[in-house]
Structure 1
Amino acid sequence: MRYINAAVVLPEELVEKLQEYIQGEYLYIPARKNEHKVWGELSGARKEINKRNDDILKAYLAGASVEELSESFFLSTYAIRKIIYQK
């Protein structure tokens, strides 16, 4: 999330109205419900995690143990089991 100066993007009247409630602070304005992005959608992190989880499942089905996967992927055995059983 990046910082945007309200005075640059909002009408002066709206900035003055907002200043009645908050000044010199950060204000988070959430996306509309139907326009909300899923975590990691914009950065590609979600895609990378899904690929990693698929790789873990494939390795497990090919015979790798939970402990081996834990060491290979630097995750706890609990996390590995969770990934395997949710797929």
Structure 2
Amino acid sequence: MKYVKATNLLPEQLIIEIQKYIQGETIYIPKQKKSYEPWGTRSGSRKTLDDRNASIQQAFKNGQTIAQLAEDYFLSVETIKKIVYKK
């Protein structure tokens, strides 16, 4: 997240109105709900993890042990359990 100087972006009247509530502090203004994208959507990370997890679930169904999956995927046994037992 980068910081933007309000005077370079907002109209003076809006800055005056905001200053009634806060001055000289950093505030976070979230995106509108309609423009929100879930984590990893843009970068493709979510799809990569979903594909990996599907592979782990399939390997478990095919008989691989949790310990072997943990070793193969460089994940903890607990993480593999969460993946394979997820409904």
TM-score class normalised by the smaller sequence: 0.7 to 0.9
RMSD: 2.1
Give 4+ residue runs of structure 1 displaced > 6 Å after superposition. none
Gaps of 5+ in 1: none
Equivalent residues, number = 87
Q: Distance in 1 between matches of 2:52 and 2:25?
A: 39
Matched, 1:64 2:29: no
3-state DSSP of counterpart to 1:53: helix
Matched, 1:73 2:73: yes
Q: 1:63 to 1:32 in 2, by over 3 A?
A: same
Residue type of the partner of 1:59? A
Q: CA deviation at 1:48?
A: 1.8
Paired-residue identity, %: 44
Residue type of the partner of 1:19? Q
